[in-house]
Amino acid sequence: MANTGTDKSALMRVLVYSDDASVREQVRLAVGRRPAADVPKVEFVECATAPAALRRMADADIDVAVFDGEARPAGGMGLCRQVKDEIFECPPVLLLIGRRDDGWLATWSRADKVVGHPIDPVALAGALAELMRDRAHRLAPTR
């Protein structure tokens, strides 16, 4: 079950969408089991197709998503825009972009964070940890 508070022993589900298995592996290796000491451990959910990613995002058990902007045939930028438009309280999305010039498209897609290809493990883990903190804070019960 997804983390709904600040319990560090809980898991957060991170969906990784890319048609390229090596990109999914790079994300897993960069993040490891926990991207920062103050966030829950990560359970990865991998999707190689946009329809599979859409189904999983709609299931409401995903805490954060990482979309590959270079995925084919459906890129992560368009998929990000779609989930932001269609899913109520959509989880945050970290977008991997291939070129610095794609930053405006990342803004159009309404991505919450952007990291460039090739993947910098420190930048990716830091950005993901920030999104996980934000998500945990939003899901935490109010007193």
Domains in the chain and their CATH numbers? Answer: 11-139 (3.40.50.2300)
Q: Do you know the residue count of the chain?
A: 143
pLDDT at 6: 45
pLDDT tens digits, one per residue of 87-129: 999 999 999 998 877 777 888 999 999 999 999 999 999 999 9
pLDDT at 138: 82
The pTM (predicted TM-score) of the whole model is 0.90
Helices in the chain by DSSP H: which ranges? Answer: 21-31, 50-58, 76-86, 103-109, 121-139
